Structure 1
Amino acid sequence: MKHSKLIPLFKSGNKNDINNYRPISILPALSKVFEKIILNQLLNHFNVNNLLHPEQYGFTKGRSTTDAGAKLLKHVYDAWERSQNAIGVFCDLSKAFDCVDHKTLLL
């Protein structure tokens, strides 16, 4: 069983409004080390068995959102060079953590 210390972190707005805070968990150092070891083993398994989609950029070693942005710009530029249209759909959820069904996520 894992124990953590929860600390409310203020985001912005009215400091008296509880909705303007997000919970931060402070975990013991040993727990972090153990989880990092497991994470590395899982990521290695995913990479060796090609279980990650080639377009996966987030939380992937050696890739970043900058890489994803560069690839997007290349697609747009290539379409422009061929006189084709390029369409992008972007979604930004306000308070995204609150939008997740945590019971489903933990299954």
Structure 2
Amino acid sequence: MKVLLIIITYTCLVSFRPPEEADYRKVFGDRYTWAVNWLEQNDAVIGEYACAFDIPAKELKAIVFPELIRYNKLFNAIEIESLKYLYVSEGKDYADFSVGYFQMKPSFGEMVE
């Protein structure tokens, strides 16, 4: 019994490897590159708003970056047209999904106003 326990313990320890870190540039490909370029092109505006609201620019970029990777022009156009009709005519209980570069919901925009 002890021998079996030692063999199982040894096998578990030998087979354990820490997980490999994902290379997100490879995982997301062109979307990753596009998001990085977008942040670089809009760096001045991001810095301006970061100063205005006393928020570190790096934090703003960290929040925005994943949303930029998810952004898709075609889907965004379809979603916006859908929202124009559904959100206005049926309300936020019927259609309230995220759109735009920052993937914000119309109800959030109303709340901010």
TM-score, with length taken from structure 2: 0.26
Q: Which has the higher strand share?
A: 1
